[in-house]
Amino acid sequence: MALYAIGDLHLSFGSDKPMDVFGGAWNNYVDKLREGLSVIQPEDTTVLLGDLSWALDMEGAAEDFSFINSIPGRKIILKGNHDFWWTTATKFYKFCTEHGFSDMYILNNNAYVYEDIAICGTRGWFFEEEAEAGSHNDKVFKRELIRLETSLQAAEREEIFCFLHYPPRYRGYECPEILALLKKYGVKECCYGHLHGDSHKLAIEGSYDGVNFRLCAADFLKFRPVRLK
């Protein structure tokens, strides 16, 4: 058994937004993903850290989720800022049943277990979205904090891995509220995505205040999932 993580697949089988247009690492990225994800076995668990499909609704995302469904083993999915297809868990699982997709699970206000590890997380928040007190963004941010704490409270293991789409730390920026929750609940590992291209050099990785941080955006990982356990 193994635990993997990768984010930002940015699939577009059902829409016309292929990432190849950005060139560089994104050239032929779907083929690179197929090769990179081939290391995953049926007994493994893979956490997908958001921005999975460019589709605007579930049906539009069907081909993208067919690709995700082809990844062996359990897939745990959290929301990214571009996941406009995202809906309720009930509708998502109904969609999976109707299309014959299996072993896909939403990480939202809950937690999962991998051996002795609790898998927790939510989308998170980022400095590029200003959140003045009382504004819409402020309300969204506070809901994300509630979702994260609810997930952490649901942990059934002492060792907690937290998965976010947005980085809680970035050169020149920190989200103190999220970092405080990671410390409060003794999170050991925090994986995040969202950062691409030149932003990779601004990512902060490694140990900080007892938490090990990892950037898991697909292009940063050369489209190969990182093995955490």
> What's the CATH code of the domain at 28?
3.60.21.10
pLDDT for 125: 83
Average per-residue pLDDT in the chain?
Answer: 92
pLDDT for 186: 96
Residue 17 structural domain: 3-227
User: At CA 14, angle to CA 8 and CA 15, rounded to 5?
Assistant: 75
Q: How many residues does the chain have?
A: 229
Query: What are the pLDDT digits (tens) for 131-162?
Result: 677 677 778 888 999 999 999 999 988 899 99
Question: How many domains, in total, are found in the chain?
Answer: 1
Q: Which residues of 152-183 are buried (b: 16+ CB within 10 A; e: fewer)?
A: beebeeeebbbbbbbbbbbeeeebeebbebbe
Read off the pLDDT band of 23 (50, 70, 90).
Answer: low
pLDDT for 126: 75
Model-level pTM?
0.94
β-strand pairing of 226-227 with 187-192: unpaired
Q: Mean pLDDT over residues 46-66, rounded?
A: 96
* Helix (H/G/I), strand (E/B), else coil: 80: coil
CA–CA gap between residue 70 and residue 88 (Å, rounded)? 22
